[in-house]
Structure 1
Amino acid sequence: MTQADPFGTAALRDAVTRSWERSPARFREDANTEEDLRLGGYRDRLLVELAQNAADAAGSGGVLAVEHVGGELRVANTGEPLTEQGVVGLASLRASAKRDGTSVGRFGVGFAAVLAVSDEPRVLSTSGGVAFSAARTREQVAALPGAAAEMTARGGEVPVLRLAWPVEEVLTEGFTTEVRLPLRAGIDAHALLESFAEQVPDLLLALPALSEIRIGERGWRRQDLDADRVTVHGPESSESWLLHRGGGHLPGSALTGLGAEARDSTGWWACWAVPLDDEGAPVALTGDVLHTPTPTEERLSLPARLLASVPVEADRRRAASSAAADAVLDRAAECYPELIAKVAPEQRAELVPVPGFPASDVDEKLRQAVLDRLRVASWLPAADGGFVAPHEARVLDEASEELVGLLAEVIPGLIVAEFSGARHRRALSALEVRRLGAADLVEAVTGLRRSAEWWRSLYAALLPIAREETREELAALPVPLADGRTVTGVRDVLLGDGDTEPDPVALLSTLDISGLRIADPRAVHPLLERLGAHRAGPAELLDVSALADAVRHSVPDARSGTDPRPLAEAVLRLVDSVGGRDWLGALALPDADGDHRRADELLLPGAALLDVLDSEVVGGEGPLGVVADDFAARWSPELLRAVGVLDTFEVHVEEEPTEPPEGLADTERWWSGRGTEQPPERFVGVRDLDLVSDDAWPAAIRLLARERHTLEALREPGGYTSWWIARFALLAGNPPRQWRLPESEELAGLYEPVPDVGLEPEHLRLAGVCAELSVADMSDVRDLTRRLGDRNRTVRAGTALRAHRALAEAVTNGVVDSADAEPPEAVRSVTGAVVGAERAVVLDEPWLLGVLEAPLVVAGGSPEQFDAEALAELLDLPLASENAVIQVSHGGGVTQRWRDVGRVPAACELLGMPVPSGEVVLQDGLKVHTADGEQSVHWWVDGAGTVYAERTPDGLSRALAWAADRWSERFALAALLADPAAVTLLR
């Protein structure tokens, strides 16, 4: 070996050419292999492969410089110079000189990347230089017959890197090795350098042995701030990265399937890197590739970059499918939680791989392995100050620092509020961290014993999340009460109002009222009201069912030994502030006898009502009592009346009752006697009427008329109050309904005028004294029929007619049901005489009066004035037409149309009525046959509807009025038929 050929290239060439000469197929194999590397695996990896070689040569602190000079690309680096073994590797295509397991390049194989841009590469070093040349290789091959034929078959393409020649050139100053690449025609040097510039930052990160890379005039510098942070400074900006490194040795089982040289290296290493922003916060990657340590084509979707010693395929583009590759990926995943632990706790979720489609098979394996490690490592910041593993962690759906701080000791594994935000939701979901909603939170605090102040702080922290969709769950929150208990559920809890006098909490918190839940004032917060609690002002408190129940039970409780005065005093103070309620009448108050009664069973001392009540009903065993004097003196009469204490008559009101109200006399009789099965929409009745003294009714009626509420009850049409007084009160010894007003002469004979009892006519009417004929119920029917049938009464005929008309109308209008009536034994006829019911008939056809005995006929007026059938049913009498079997005696009658009957058209015209369209039979003497013989009549209508009339104005007028359905005009028609002139009508 001479100085001119320090690396023995001549021997290498000789060995290669002899092999090609012996076997042209070997030439073709070498050419194909190099072509595969140039066109396949190592295309576009020029800078990467040269940078890896420079890193291996440098060891540390290496510098790489790339320039375009005189049509060739020059790539120079510092570090160890080229060696003979290196030259052998360059020219071997299949073997690298690097076998210590610590290098990152494959010097020899990777050098094939230079063929992408040059056919004449040269490598210069301080130890010597070598050149490769396509042209010179063709000259050598041309002398080899077999190989030359193969070269010709390949179009002159030869393996450039198999034959090396020594070269002596001057290196760029400051470097130990330089690769010079005359650029092939068509290569854009500027574009090539720009593509290099884009790769530099990643290469400086991936190759820590390099501290600087220069591309032309631009330079990039790596700065290791500490073991975990690296900054790459470029010509325009800087990039900082957070690193975590790991390493170790793989077991022999993991090396199965690797080549012999690869199996010699059991060491593995991995480095996770994540970029940092200007504030030092991690910036999650959204798409990257696996670096080994330089980039492969294995796409990854993890938030951090992985640089690792993953075995790769020969072209360094894909991870090798091997147990070793899986083992390195698995150990890299084990390191990932340690990378996250180096990030500020509130930023750690940014580095969790979120759900999504895997970018590659390697990505799928690595993502799953990372998530598996993250779930069991303790790195999430816990609310209690430590760290917790995701599989034991709990996160609130919505939270604030205040809320998490309160619950830190309540919910094991609760993590800080920062992680409740929406931006961490996907990350925590990927880790399967359990989320706690409003219902879970409520469950966690249920059963806790905490101070009222703690609960108020909790409510304040929950206020921001108390929206419509969470209100139902939060309504189950515990609430501390003023009596020291803590209840579950906000609804029905009452909230004290410190600005209100009297303070309900102070009034009732010491009372033992079952179901009354008043919040501890120290825990009161607006959230409770939003969730269904009620402000416990006096008005709200009086609307609480528990207080109403306590009042309703206060009398029995008092009689069993409970002191009712505290409850009574609290209720009275509340009522004094806001007014009463209907149920307050049940409040137990002390009476003058030393006992306790309901407030609505007590009277004020000196009450006006005492003057009209029977003395036997007040005090002792009576239904009413008088409020104890000392108690009454403490409270105003108005306040006592507000809780139901009586001063005058009171009115009982029920809306939409379904049955007779209890506690009032005879309501069942009033209810059943209303004449309808439909209940009233509203019941209004004065109570305690049955307790009035018999001789005090005039005064009682005046008292009722004096008060507006009782007067309205008394005036209610068909109401209970007027009904009861009319029947059961006493005026001069009789109920008011048995008297008539002195001026009501039309009732004379039926009713006696009421004596002077000191009441005005209006008061008498209100009390039920009769002012006119009316039938309101069946008792009125019985009373009126009894009076009509009383032989000792002198009843005028007109009065009897009107009375019968009122009875018929009561049936027709549905006021009474004739089926419920009691038939009278005697009735009043149209003459005013009383006749036995067995002889009487009800007139239904007026022409029958011509053959009937008037003292036996009962009527309510003319046919259009009353319903004869209704009256007959009510009195249980036959209709007159039912008993009559009568025939008309035909004797020379003439049938004429009404319009042809003399004077009929003129009479009708004067009255403005139409002439009937039918016919009439006119006879000079009209007679009918009855059971008693033949009788003369003025007019008649037979069973067939034929109208008969005698030739007289009296008979013809009635027949005409009936035929024209103008019965009330019969008397006017009689006069006009006698003298059909206008003056007749006007007289």
Structure 2
Amino acid sequence: MDDVFGTAVVRERVLAGWAAAPVRFREDANAEEDLALGGYLDRVVVELAQNAADAAVREGVPGRVRFSYRNGTLVVANTGTPLSADGVESLATLRASAKRDEAESAVGRFGVGFSAVLAVTDEPVILSRTGGVRFSRADTAATIAELGSAGLDTEVRRRGGQVPVLRLPFPAEGEPPAGFDTAVILPLRDDAAAELVRRLLAEADDALLLALPGLTRIELEVDGEEVRVLEDAESRWFVHRVGGAFDEGERERLLADRPVEERARPSWSVLWALPRDPGTEVPRTVHAPTPTDEPLSLNALLLATFPLDPARRHVAKGPLTDRLVQEAARAYAELLRLRAESDAAPLQDAAGNPRSADLPPIAAVRFDVLPLVPTGLAAGALDGALRDAILGELPGTPLLTSVEDGTLLRPRDAVVVEGADEAFTAVLAPIVGGLVRSRRQDRVALDALRVRRLELAELIDQLGAVAEHRPPQWWRETYAALSGMVTDPLIRESLGTLPVPLADGRLVRGARGVLLPGRELPSDVLATFGEYGVRVVHPDAVHPSLERLGALAATPRTLLEDSAVRTAVEHSNDADDPDVIAEAVLGVIAVDPSQADGLWWLSDLVLRDADGDLVPANALVIPGSAAEAILDQDEVAPIERALVDRYGVQALTAVGVLDELAVVAASDVALDELPEALADLDGIEDWADDVAPDGSRYGATIGELAAIRDLDWIREDAWPRVLELFGSSPDARRALVGQVRVVGPDDRALGVPSYAAWWIRDRVLLDDGEPLAGRADPEVDPILAAFLDPAPEWTARLDPEVRTAVGLVRTVADLDVDGVGHLLDRLAEPGRDVEESAVLRLWAQLGTLTVFPDSAPESVRVLGDDERTRVVAAADAVVADAPMWLQREDLGGFVVASGAAADGLSDLFEVPLATEAAAGKIETEGTPADVPAIVRELVPEVPRTWWEHEELLVDGVDVSWWVDENGEPHAATFNGLAKALAWSAGQWSQRHVILAVLSDPSRASELLIDTTFDTPSAG
């Protein structure tokens, strides 16, 4: 085997050094192990490709390398300078590269990259067209053993037999594959090594080509099949390279802390690359220029001649790194500028997809570089330094496309409108200088570039001034551009002051409330109201977006609800030509009279009466109508007949002209602040005071309130007809007979009389000067008839509910406060002859009243003699709330009732209950006796014992029976016992049955049989 490279000499020199100083062997072994297990553990493919690139550069030929893995062996063949004796010596000498004299062109800078093969093999072989050399761990161990050096043997033994591989070269035979100048053959150590090689070959990509410009082609074969060929990387990447050499002064300053041999290499380079295919995965590590472990957060490939630490894994800190960071930042900014202005590819969207040529100009944008702007958190110290430096460069780099003309703008000169979409941005471009697009996903990047932000609301505020003279058509285009934005509530708020051109030439701020002309209303009507301030949008500016911003379609209702129309109506009497306003309003309402519902202020519109005078609509009547027949001619006048003929009765009554009694309505009425719609009602404040809960209007509300207007204008002699009209007019009838629900501040609801019912009861007088209210209804309860004045005969023709509403009394429940007082006064008149049966029935009804007069009567009718009644002073009367008290004539005259009715009468008359007037204390001793069994069988509720008295005194008064406070019956007679037992049992109605069986026990069977039918069978 020829030793063309003098490997024997190299071996002898190395062995001699080891033998002379075994510690040198230990140092070499440790250093090689550090490299193999440390920085070069997974870099065999990169390092061999780098060696191939350097060989091609030295030879001045296109670099080509093939990685072929088969049957446990990796063969790496390359073109370029073949192996030389210096190269062999360099391979066998740690950190002494043969490339020192080629520092300007070589990529490798340490001369130890070949040690990466030790991660996968112990027997590397290099074959070149000039010869071959091999290294072997086994042969090295054998050679050391043959040397017979005790010191070396001891060191080998201490290392467990492990010796360096790449220190002793041996000659090798063979040639590289055809077409290549050198081949590295690596028999792989084990399966783990094979798995590592397969992974590294799979990971080889364009970054390797870009890092090694000396290579033009990388071929990858696995198991005899070509897997990939890497070449022409720049067809798949946008690449920007910069580089240069440091002058003498810079070299001393920047490289002072670098190794001596590295200081001899003053050149530097930076390469940034962006994938042309957006789907390409970009390595997220810094390459220097081959991969390091420094993370990179940018979506771009960076290859730069950063200084590395001894392990070649991390970039070393120092002034050289700081300088290269600045150069890399400038190069990155320039790369983005070139990409932004490049027109080599079709116009693209943000994802890099071609845009359709027929899209609007705003949609056809150049390559979007904003996703490449550094945002978020840095991935590491070097990444953070790069990002900071880049963000220092980008604001002054033209890379944002102007919306107006497509030129590139520096971010510091650009402006975005917050919230504006693409369509609206295109409209704003001629107005806002330096305007660029701003999508939601771009916000962070634009902020990082320090692009000035203009709030949408701020721009809208300025828009009226800068676009004041734009034609209506331009505004319509602007509103069309806004159509995609107005669905967002926050953006609609920002557009609150958007200028809107009107038909009268004005430009107003804000679309809310302006009217959009349509087909429902004639243009001359809109023009008429425009003179009074109605804001009608110019027809050429109308767009649906305005409705989303609060504009209203010009319908009869929206026009009538406009505040300017109301102002014109309310001041029509002072207008230069009130007839024009009247014609415009009536013309709108005639289209659909129902559109005027609830607009009570329309009644202020002045119209011509029959004499040609101007009169408010609410003081006019339709000629020949019921209103004309019943209302005072001093208060109302007939409307001009021509207006009736032209607009019809419905349109005129809609604005308040009367043809019958009119009803006004209001919702959510607060009693302490009545709405304007009710303000003209006669006595409305007094009514509110009367119906307020607990006399306080504060906090009281009414959900729905309907009131009949103009009651004070009704002629006195017209009331019979008026009340008949209430029965035939559904709206007026409801406003009269329906109770009003008042809700107090404590949320308790109270039903009160309607305003119309209250007004009629309070203010309508008959010919005799007395109120209609309080008189006897034609169908009055006979008990009441004797105490009330009769109503006029014509009331018999009225609806019964109308009669009740206006105050006619059919039962005691129909009485109001005044009616109750009137009834009590008449009931106490001494000259009236009232039977006991009548007054008993009356007391039962009066006891259930819920309304009371302001003061109690001074005299009270009580029970008398011979089934008649008599009148006594209230101080001499009591309410007998139990039958036993009727034996106590010492208490005075009796008003008789039981239960709740007794309490009610006591409150009504302000007289005490009998139980309150006397103690009811039994003063005589009684003898206990058993209640007969037959009585208990007939009335099971009676007690088992009663108390028999020879004489029964209660509070010193002789009585025949009593029931004490414990419910125990006491009696001095058979009749009294029956009553005592019945009352104590709560079965007062059974007193006669009890008396019968006590008087004649032989009737017990008969009476018992009769009780069978007291309660009907459930069957």
1:30-77 Cα deviation digits (max 9, x unpaired): 955984697466672652343133232233534557889999968453
Counterpart code for 1:242: F
% identical aligned pairs: 26
Aligned counterparts, 1:764-843, within 5 A = 765=803, 768=807, 776-788=815-827, 795-798=832-835, 802=838, 806=842, 809-810=845-846, 812-817=848-853, 820-821=855-856, 823=858, 837=873, 841=877
**Helix, strand or coil at the partner of 2:694:** coil
Aligned counterparts, 1:699-710, within 5 A = 699-710=721-732
Aligned counterpart, 1:415: 436
1:371-398 Cα deviation digits (max 9, x unpaired): 4433442213332322234566566787
In structure 2, relative to structure 1, the CA distance for the partners of 1:397 and 1:590 (3 Å cut) is closer
In structure 2, relative to structure 1, the CA distance for the partners of 1:651 and 1:642 (3 Å cut) is same
In structure 2, relative to structure 1, the CA distance for the partners of 1:822 and 1:602 (3 Å cut) is farther
In structure 2, relative to structure 1, the CA distance for the partners of 1:765 and 1:947 (3 Å cut) is farther
The separation in 2 between residues aligned to 1:10 and 1:317, in whole angstroms, is 32
Shift of residue 290, structure 1, vs aligned partner: 0.7
The separation in 2 between residues aligned to 1:889 and 1:296, in whole angstroms, is 120
In structure 2, relative to structure 1, the CA distance for the partners of 1:198 and 1:802 (3 Å cut) is closer
Shift of residue 743, structure 1, vs aligned partner: 8.1
Aligned counterparts, 1:111-126, within 5 A = 112-113=114-115, 116=118
**Helix, strand or coil at the partner of 1:611:** helix
Tell whether the 8 Å contact from 2:220 to 2:227 is kept in structure 1 after alignment: yes
Counterpart code for 1:283: T
The separation in 2 between residues aligned to 1:425 and 1:899, in whole angstroms, is 100
Counterpart code for 1:733: D
Tell whether the 8 Å contact from 2:874 to 2:909 is kept in structure 1 after alignment: no
496, 521, 541: which is aligned to 1:476? 496
Aligned counterpart, 2:59: 58
Aligned counterpart, 1:206: 211
In structure 2, relative to structure 1, the CA distance for the partners of 1:676 and 1:474 (3 Å cut) is closer
The separation in 2 between residues aligned to 1:435 and 1:532, in whole angstroms, is 27
Shift of residue 650, structure 1, vs aligned partner: 2.8
563, 566, 573: which is aligned to 1:551? 566
1:370 correspondence with 2:390: yes
Counterpart code for 2:849: N
Aligned counterpart, 1:237: none
Aligned counterpart, 1:234: none
1:283 correspondence with 2:305: no
Tell whether the 8 Å contact from 1:584 to 1:644 is kept in structure 2 after alignment: yes
Shift of residue 706, structure 1, vs aligned partner: 3.7
1:197-236 Cα deviation digits (max 9, x unpaired): 9758555433334444567896998876xxxx734xxxxx
The separation in 1 between residues aligned to 2:258 and 2:617, in whole angstroms, is 102
In structure 2, relative to structure 1, the CA distance for the partners of 1:770 and 1:286 (3 Å cut) is same
506, 511, 527: which is aligned to 2:526? 506
Aligned counterpart, 2:598: 582
The separation in 2 between residues aligned to 1:317 and 1:927, in whole angstroms, is 123
The separation in 2 between residues aligned to 1:716 and 1:64, in whole angstroms, is 104
In structure 2, relative to structure 1, the CA distance for the partners of 1:85 and 1:511 (3 Å cut) is same
The separation in 1 between residues aligned to 2:834 and 2:281, in whole angstroms, is 114
Structure 2: gaps (5+ residues)? 343-365, 740-752, 1011-1019
Aligned counterpart, 2:348: none
The separation in 2 between residues aligned to 1:657 and 1:480, in whole angstroms, is 37
- Across the aligned residues of Structure 1 and Structure 2, the Cα RMSD in angstroms comes to 6.3
Aligned counterparts, 1:491-640, within 5 A = 492-494=512-514, 496=516, 498-501=518-521, 506=526, 510-513=530-533, 519-520=537-538, 522-530=540-548, 534-542=552-560, 546=563, 551=566, 554-555=569-570, 557-561=571-575, 564-576=578-590, 577=592, 578-585=594-601, 586-592=603-609, 596-615=614-633, 617-618=634-635, 624-640=636-652
Shift of residue 638, structure 1, vs aligned partner: 1.8
Aligned counterpart, 1:406: 427
The separation in 2 between residues aligned to 1:928 and 1:10, in whole angstroms, is 149
The separation in 2 between residues aligned to 1:221 and 1:847, in whole angstroms, is 125
In structure 2, relative to structure 1, the CA distance for the partners of 1:560 and 1:83 (3 Å cut) is same
Tell whether the 8 Å contact from 1:78 to 1:174 is kept in structure 2 after alignment: no
Shift of residue 814, structure 1, vs aligned partner: 2.4
Aligned counterpart, 1:254: 254
In structure 2, relative to structure 1, the CA distance for the partners of 1:248 and 1:815 (3 Å cut) is same
Tell whether the 8 Å contact from 1:13 to 1:164 is kept in structure 2 after alignment: no
Tell whether the 8 Å contact from 1:90 to 1:111 is kept in structure 2 after alignment: no
How does the TM-score come out when normalised to structure 1?
Answer: 0.72
The separation in 2 between residues aligned to 1:658 and 1:321, in whole angstroms, is 82
The separation in 1 between residues aligned to 2:994 and 2:394, in whole angstroms, is 117
Tell whether the 8 Å contact from 2:620 to 2:658 is kept in structure 1 after alignment: yes
Aligned counterpart, 2:321: 325
Counterpart code for 1:820: S
228, 231, 234: which is aligned to 1:230? 234
Aligned counterpart, 1:104: 106
1:261-285 Cα deviation digits (max 9, x unpaired): 54344332222233333xxx58351
Shift of residue 337, structure 1, vs aligned partner: 1.9
Aligned counterpart, 1:641: 653
Tell whether the 8 Å contact from 1:16 to 1:163 is kept in structure 2 after alignment: no
Counterpart code for 1:230: E
Shift of residue 402, structure 1, vs aligned partner: 1.9
Shift of residue 244, structure 1, vs aligned partner: 0.9
Shift of residue 588, structure 1, vs aligned partner: 2.0
The separation in 1 between residues aligned to 2:760 and 2:7, in whole angstroms, is 145
Shift of residue 583, structure 1, vs aligned partner: 3.5
Counterpart code for 1:403: F
Counterpart code for 1:813: L
Moved more, 258-267 or 972-981: 972-981
The separation in 2 between residues aligned to 1:928 and 1:111, in whole angstroms, is 131
761, 764, 787: which is aligned to 1:729? 764
638, 658, 678: which is aligned to 2:671? 658
In structure 2, relative to structure 1, the CA distance for the partners of 1:858 and 1:273 (3 Å cut) is same
In structure 2, relative to structure 1, the CA distance for the partners of 1:36 and 1:554 (3 Å cut) is same
Provide the aligned length of Structure 1 versus Structure 2: 919
Q: Is the radius of gyration larger for structure 1 or structure 2?
A: 1
In structure 2, relative to structure 1, the CA distance for the partners of 1:348 and 1:451 (3 Å cut) is same
Structure 1: gaps (5+ residues)? 232-239, 619-623
Aligned counterpart, 2:266: 266
The separation in 1 between residues aligned to 2:8 and 2:411, in whole angstroms, is 65
How does the TM-score come out when normalised to structure 2?
Answer: 0.70
The separation in 2 between residues aligned to 1:137 and 1:444, in whole angstroms, is 88
Aligned counterparts, 1:168-247, within 5 A = 178-179=181-182, 199=204, 202-212=207-217, 230-231=234-235, 240-247=236-243
**Helix, strand or coil at the partner of 2:303:** strand
The separation in 2 between residues aligned to 1:748 and 1:658, in whole angstroms, is 37
Shift of residue 775, structure 1, vs aligned partner: 6.5
Shift of residue 401, structure 1, vs aligned partner: 3.5
1:529-563 Cα deviation digits (max 9, x unpaired): 4455554533455556x36xx637844x2455565
The separation in 2 between residues aligned to 1:837 and 1:340, in whole angstroms, is 111
Tell whether the 8 Å contact from 1:804 to 1:871 is kept in structure 2 after alignment: no
Tell whether the 8 Å contact from 1:212 to 1:219 is kept in structure 2 after alignment: no
Tell whether the 8 Å contact from 1:496 to 1:503 is kept in structure 2 after alignment: no
The separation in 2 between residues aligned to 1:711 and 1:532, in whole angstroms, is 39
The separation in 2 between residues aligned to 1:927 and 1:158, in whole angstroms, is 138
The separation in 1 between residues aligned to 2:849 and 2:775, in whole angstroms, is 25
